[in-house]
C-alpha cells in the first residue's frame, strides 16, 4: 500500500484543540485549506461524521478543481477520516486520514492520503502534491496560531 500513499507530517506550534477547530469549523476550514496560492469556494459544508464538504479549489492560474470530502470518522482532537474525490462518482475516491498527537504545547499532524492506484499516486507526486501539501499544513499552522 505504501506505493499508493503520500504521508505528510508537521509539528504545529498550537494545541490540538485549535488545530481540531481549524479542521471542523465551517467558517475556518475554507480559509486555510489548500496549497499556498490556492483558494476554496464552498458549495456545501457539513463538518461532522457522515457530513461532507463540496467546494471548488482555485489555483493561482485560475484553474478550478471540483472537490468533495465525505467525512467517515470524527474522533475529536485525535483523528478524522474522509473520502476525497472530484465531486462525482466517476472514479474511486482517495482515502485521507488525519491524526493529531499532542506534543507539549504543540500538535504533531500526520496526514495519510491513500490513492486508488499506484498510477494516481505517481501522478499526484509528479504534480508536486507532497510539496504543495506541506504548504497547506503551513497554512493550517498559521490559522491555528491566530485562534
Neighbours of 34 (CB within 10 A): 21
Provide the Cα torsion 111, 116, 122, 127; round to 10°: -70
- Domains of the chain (ranges, CATH numbers): 2-141 (3.30.530.20)
For the entire predicted model, the pTM comes to: 0.95
pLDDT in tens, the chain (147 residues): 789 999 999 999 999 999 999 999 999 999 999 999 999 999 999 999 999 999 999 999 999 999 999 999 999 999 999 999 999 999 999 999 999 999 999 999 999 999 999 999 999 999 999 999 999 999 999 999 999
Amino acid at each position: 500500500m505504501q506505493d499508493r500513499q503520500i504521508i505528510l507530517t508537521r509539528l504545529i506550534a498550537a494545541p490540538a484543540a485549535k488545530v481540531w477547530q481549524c479542521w471542523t469549523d465551517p467558517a475556518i476550514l475554507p480559509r486555510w485549506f489548500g496549497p499556498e496560492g490556492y483558494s476554496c469556494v464552498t458549495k456545501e459544508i457539513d463538518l461532522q461524521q457522515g457530513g461532507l464538504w463540496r467546494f471548488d479549489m482555485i489555483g493561482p492560474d485560475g484553474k478550478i478543481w471540483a472537490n468533495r470530502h465525505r467525512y467517515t470518522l470524527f474522533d475529536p482532537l485525535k483523528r478524522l477520516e474522509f473520502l476525497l474525490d472530484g465531486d462525482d462518482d466517476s472514479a474511486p475516491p482517495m482515502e485521507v486520514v488525519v491524526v493529531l498527537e499532542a506534543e507539549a504545547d504543540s500538535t504533531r499532524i500526520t496526514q495519510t492520503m491513500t490513492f486508488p492506484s499506484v498510477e494516481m499516486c505517481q501522478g499526484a507526486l509528479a504534480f508536486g502534491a507532497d510539496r504543495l501539501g506541506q504548504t497547506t499544513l503551513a497554512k493550517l499552522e498559521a490559522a491555528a496560531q491566530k485562534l
